[in-house]
Amino acid sequence: MSDYTCAVRKVTQLAINRNGGATHVTFRPFKGSDESRVNGGTLTIDGDFGPFSHTWTHIGGEDFVDFLESLSFDYAMNKLSPQPIMQFDGDKTRDLIKQAIIERRKEGEITAPQARHFWDEIDQLDLHSEHDAYRDLCDIEWSGIEPDGDRLYQHLTLLDGVFGDDPTAIPFGTSIRGNLEYFWREVWPIILVEMRKAVDAEKLEVAA
């Protein structure tokens, strides 16, 4: 067996029960030697809103709980969440496409009948992903007589007419995933308060 070392670390665990749900928090602040710049902590949260986890190793000279209290929503969730905090939003995407239809109509890129048809078709779609949006915009097609009245029929897809047949021009709407805003507003402050209590109690115990 190869040589190795093993250090036993003390962690603090919290069990927060609220409105019938449980949130389990484990954290461990740490600091390096006097010559080391390492200062930070590990935080893990499991429960109705988790799992969340991250280890910070360079937070300057701040106390770990002070550091956590200073974090913004975007920074904290981007560090703690294993998934992106923003997710595809079908309703917002539909609204953005409708706005693009209006703009193309005002610019004269599409006719009134074409704009009306595209609007009605996109209004009926349930968009669940970016793939859905691209596929459906390719499938939505207007067919009619050319505006100059020469009786020739024209076929135009929504993707081509509104976005110049450029998939990268499709505006995808996003929203914050799940109940993260609720967690940040209602649960995160409680976690910080209880972490502070635990840290202060440990300091008093050590002092005694």
Write the pLDDT tens digit of every residue in 163-191. 998 989 999 999 999 889 999 999 999 99
52-56 and 39-47 strand pairing: antiparallel
Whole-number average pLDDT of the chain: 87
How far apart, in whole angstroms, are the C-alpha atoms of residue 202 and residue 198? 6
Helices (H) and strands (E) in the chain, counts: 8, 8
Alpha carbon distances (Å) from 39 to 60, 63, 157, 176, 190: 7, 9, 57, 31, 24
pLDDT tops 90 at residue 33:
no
How far apart, in whole angstroms, are the C-alpha atoms of residue 47 and residue 203? 28
pLDDT tops 70 at residue 133:
yes
Structure tokens at 66: 């002070």
pTM for the model: 0.76
pLDDT tops 80 at residue 12:
yes
- Mean pLDDT over 51-73 rounds to 92
pLDDT digits (tens, 9 = 90+) for 89-99: 999 999 999 99
Return the ∠ at Cα 158 (arms to 126 and 92), rounded to 5°.
40
Between 28 and 145, the more confident residue is 28
Q: Residue ranges per domain, the chain? A: 12-83+178-207, 88-176
Between 24 and 145, the more confident residue is 24
Residues composing the chain? 208
13: left (phi over 0), alpha (psi -120 to 50) or beta: beta
Helix (H) or strand (E) holding 56: strand 52-56
Question: In DSSP terms, which residues pair with 144 in a beta bridge?
Answer: 154
Between 75 and 132, the more confident residue is 75
Which residues, at least 6 apart from 131, have a Cβ–Cβ distance to it below 8 Å? Answer: none
Between 112 and 205, the more confident residue is 112
Between 117 and 19, the more confident residue is 117
Supply the pLDDT for residue 208: 54
Q: Point out the least confidently predicted range of 4-8, 116-120, 171-175.
A: 4-8
Return the ∠ at Cα 13 (arms to 12 and 19), rounded to 5°.
145
pLDDT digits (tens, 9 = 90+) for 71-81: 999 999 999 99
CB-CB contact of 119 with 101 (8 Å): yes
Strand order through the sheet with 21-31: 12-18, 21-31, 39-47, 52-56
